[in-house]
Amino acid sequence: MKILGIETSCDETAAAVVEYSDGGALKLLSNVVASSIDLHALYGGVVPEIAARSHVESIQPVIDQALDQAFSGVGGVNRSQPWEQIDGIAVTQGPGLGGSLLVGVMAARTLAIAHSKPLYAINHVEAHAYANFITEIGSNTQKAKSKKGAGKTPYANYHLPTTSPEFPVLGLIVSGGHSQLVLWRDHFDYTLLGQTNDDAIGEAFDKVAKILGLPYPGGPSISKRAQEGDPYKYQLPKANISSVSPALAELRSVAKEIDKKGHDEPSDSYTTHSSPPPNYSNYDFSFSGLKTAVLRLAQAEIGADYSFPSHKVSEKLSEAQKTDIAASFQRVAIETIVDKTTAAAQEFQPKSIVLGGGVAASQELRNQLAKKLSKNIYYPDIKLCTDNAAMVAALGCFKATLKQPSADPYSLEIEPDLGM
Ligand code: KG4
Ligand code: ZN
């Protein structure tokens, strides 16, 4: 079973081929990503119109390259007939930018009709977690070179897990667009434990970087800067949210019922459940207050009040102040998600914890989680943390093998606000 994945939800045009083999292992046969990030860096954030136009230009060459990389010269397969090898197409339907999603979905619909392949609609956030199910790599992917490396730097030095995550799986998906904690009892059977009420954590990194005058995207530039800073120099607030989402409330009441019956339920019982630790009635996040606190701190550090324009603050901050603010912000932002993940792990006792999204690349996150949790923690390779189509194809493989319904290629619509 080989699935072509297509991803265009934000500023990366991506296509990949993943193979599902007997026993459930996923092998990465190709992974191609064309990013328009350099174009957006000029504006300090993604410009939707530029992203959409860039997808239109890149989508066809990216798909061609993914098919070529997957099949050329492998096992005598004729590279002029890659479509004979493909069993289905998986495409990101949402959430994401409308104009961007449209390009990928229309390309996938057209190819599904032209080549008579089943089409699978993929939730981008769910797909981020599925990057962790890829455990093997094809010989061509291994040899592929990065565009920049021009034959010098091997692009495909992938660090993959040796085994697939085991259910129940707790997923932390953290990126520029999402901050979600999800509990999977099995494939396609999950509960959203919590999500952000406002900014995503990656968005907070991007906005704080802008305040400090550090380049976009903010995550990598803040983490680089933070290495030399004092993470305890400044005190910054952690949001305290009191509401409990209906899905979490229901999960707890079902778990309580099972507890009452003394765990004599069959194996489809919800999952192991203990009381949440004190102060953890819910798993929602909020990062906009932290971002504002950084702005107020920076204004105070330069002796100005709240009316001082945010885009001029960085000119007045010393390099030492920037470095210490970056380190303190990073510590608090990462502590927030690590605290909630640790609490959810205590409450729901998952067998594996999987990370996904651009912020999963953060070394600070990895260090803090390793100190708090002795569980099986899965981090995707850095190239599979940020947006890519391998994760989309990976989820598509399970949709196809577990007989999930396919989408109608004549009518599949984008869902920019798709939730979990
Ligand atoms: O998954 P992704 O490529 O795109 C979205 O779906 O949003 O994630 C991009 C986000 C950006 O906000 C970027 O600042 C953040 O991931 N990021 C990081 C790091 N590397 C990327 N955040 C913190 N630390 C990092 N090392
Ligand atoms: Zn993403």
pLDDT at 271: 60
- Residue closest by Cα to atom 3 of ligand 1: 386
pLDDT at 79: 54
**Cβ contacts of residue 117 below 8 Å, gap of 6+?**
83, 86, 87, 88, 89, 111
Q: Is 386 in the pocket of ligand 1 (CB under 6 A)?
A: yes
- Residue closest by Cα to atom 8 of ligand 1: 358
Predicted confidence (pLDDT) at residue 174 exceeds the cutoff of 60: yes
pLDDT at 267: 44
pLDDT at 103: 97
Is residue 148 very low, low, confident or very high in pLDDT (cuts 50, 70, 90)?
Answer: very low
**Model confidence pLDDT, tens digit, residues 176-204:** 988 999 999 999 999 999 999 999 999 99
**Which has the minimum average pLDDT: 42-46, 122-126, 235-239, 301-305?**
42-46
Handedness of CA 225, 230, 236, 239 (dihedral sign): positive
What is the gyration radius of the CA atoms in the chain, in angstroms? 22
Buried b or exposed e, range 268-277, using 16+ CB within 10 angstroms: ebbbebeebe
Q: Is 45 in the pocket of ligand 1 (CB under 6 A)?
A: no
Most distant CA pair in the chain, distance: 69
User: Strands 179-186 and 26-35: what pairing?
Assistant: unpaired
Ligand nearest, relative to CA of residue 124: 2
Averaged pLDDT, 81-99: 95
Give the containing element (helix H, strand E) for 113.
Answer: helix 98-114
- Residue closest by Cα to atom 23 of ligand 1: 219
| Helix, strand, coil share (%) of the chain residues, nearest 5 | 45, 20, 40
Residue 386 alpha carbon, nearest atom of ligand 1:
3
Predicted confidence (pLDDT) at residue 78 exceeds the cutoff of 60: no
Residue 361 alpha carbon, nearest atom of ligand 1:
26
Averaged pLDDT, 361-387: 92
Is residue 167 very low, low, confident or very high in pLDDT (cuts 50, 70, 90)?
Answer: very high
Q: Is 357 in the pocket of ligand 1 (CB under 6 A)?
A: yes
Predicted confidence (pLDDT) at residue 144 exceeds the cutoff of 80: no
Q: Is 199 in the pocket of ligand 1 (CB under 6 A)?
A: no
Q: Is 218 in the pocket of ligand 1 (CB under 6 A)?
A: yes
Report residue 121 CA to chain centroid gap: 17
128, 205, 227: residue to mutate for ligand 1 pocket, most atoms within 8 A of CB: 205
Mean pLDDT, the chain, whole residue set: 89
Please, are residues 40 and 51 in contact by the beta-carbon 8 Å criterion? Answer: yes
pLDDT at 73: 67
**Model confidence pLDDT, tens digit, residues 320-332:** 999 999 999 999 9
Q: Is 231 in the pocket of ligand 1 (CB under 6 A)?
A: no
Is residue 42 very low, low, confident or very high in pLDDT (cuts 50, 70, 90)?
Answer: confident
386, 391, 418: residue to mutate for ligand 1 pocket, most atoms within 8 A of CB: 386
Residue 201 alpha carbon, nearest atom of ligand 1:
12
Q: Is 219 in the pocket of ligand 1 (CB under 6 A)?
A: yes
Q: Is 220 in the pocket of ligand 1 (CB under 6 A)?
A: yes
**Model confidence pLDDT, tens digit, residues 230-275:** 999 999 999 888 778 888 888 888 877 766 665 554 444 456 677 7
Averaged pLDDT, 63-78: 78
**Cβ contacts of residue 83 below 8 Å, gap of 6+?**
67, 115, 117
Shortest CA distance to 30 belongs to which of 163, 120, 155, 148? 155
Dist CA 77 CA 413 (whole Å) = 34
Q: Is 100 in the pocket of ligand 1 (CB under 6 A)?
A: no
- Residue closest by Cα to atom 22 of ligand 1: 219
Strand partners, 51: none
**Model confidence pLDDT, tens digit, residues 149-165:** 333 334 468 889 999 99
